[in-house]
Amino acid sequence: IIAVAALAAGIVLVMVAILSYLSPDATPVLGPSPRATVAASAPLPEANPASSGPGIVNAASPAWIDRTAAATSIPTVALKAYAGVTLSVAAQNPKCGLSWDTLAGIGWVESRHGMIHGTTLGADGTLTPPLYGVTLDGVGFAHIPDSDGGAIDGDTKGDRAVGPMQFLPQSWRNWHTDANGDGVESPQNIYDATMAAAHYLCRAAGTLGTHDGWQAGVLAYNSSHQYLNDVMDAANRYAADAR
């Protein structure tokens, strides 16, 4: 999702997916039939035996991070978030079957790993300036009434998706977390946002390690077959480059 219009369309579809998941009787809005099957499940990142401090920031081996960042061109901070979250989920919820390349694929499609439209990914994982989607006020886009008084998305006219993983305020309130251990839960921080996305995917999919589970998880995140294909392409590219 590079152009503003495309990003806005993706945001709308994310909301549709969220509503469909929370309301099982709702019918998802899907595009043309997908050509995708499933993304490759990359091996777990190498763990850092000397990891210390709160959160997941240093969970992955520095050597693995350096090697994989060079091979994939994923920014180091973003890769540390994807790898750290994957290792955490593997330890706490192994049946989920989450792989780092799926998180990276979603991060690429949603925000170019937090660097879309000139945003900068800081060393602590926080975006500068904060990343917001368009206001979903019904003018050219879906009407999603303001649900947070602008506290999360900075807008009191309607809801907007926020941060590197593009959470709507109501979904962030459901999945908020502090993954980097800094005492702040922020959807504008790639560690926090990636962990929240992982929890959402695991809940929606049951297990991402199967064909049907992977598709269910990604389509729950954004109910679009084009989105499914884009995430799959990016995830497979990263998995192949990291071999």
Q: What is the DSSP-derived secondary structure letter of residue 127?
A: E
Q: Could you tell me the pTM of the whole model? A: 0.84
| Residues 19, 26 contacting (CB under 8 angstroms) | yes
Asked whether the beta carbons of 136 and 158 are under 8 A apart, the reply is yes
DSSP string for 198-224: HHHHHHHHS-TTSHHHHHHHHHHHS--
* 142's tokens: 């879906």
- 208-220 burial: b if 16+ Cβ within 10 Å, else e: bbeeebbbbbbbb
Each residue's pLDDT, cut to its tens digit, for the chain (243 residues) gives 333 333 444 443 344 333 333 322 323 344 554 455 778 789 999 999 998 888 999 999 999 999 999 999 999 999 999 999 999 999 999 999 999 999 999 999 999 999 999 999 999 999 999 999 888 887 877 788 888 888 888 888 888 899 999 999 999 999 999 999 999 999 999 999 999 999 999 999 999 999 999 999 999 999 899 999 999 999 999 999 999
**One-letter amino acid for residue 87 of the chain:** L
Cα torsion 61, 67, 71, 72 to 10°: value is 20
Using CB atoms within 10 Å of the CB of residue 151, give its burial: 0 to 12 exposed, 13 to 18 middle, 19+ buried: exposed
Please report the pLDDT score of residue 3 as a whole number: 35
**Alpha helices, DSSP H only, in the chain?**
4-22, 62-72, 76-92, 100-111, 169-175, 190-205, 211-221, 225-241
Predicted pLDDT of residue 133: 87
pLDDT at res. 35: 53
The per-residue DSSP string of 41-54 comes to -PPPPPB-TT--SS
pLDDT of residue 137: 81
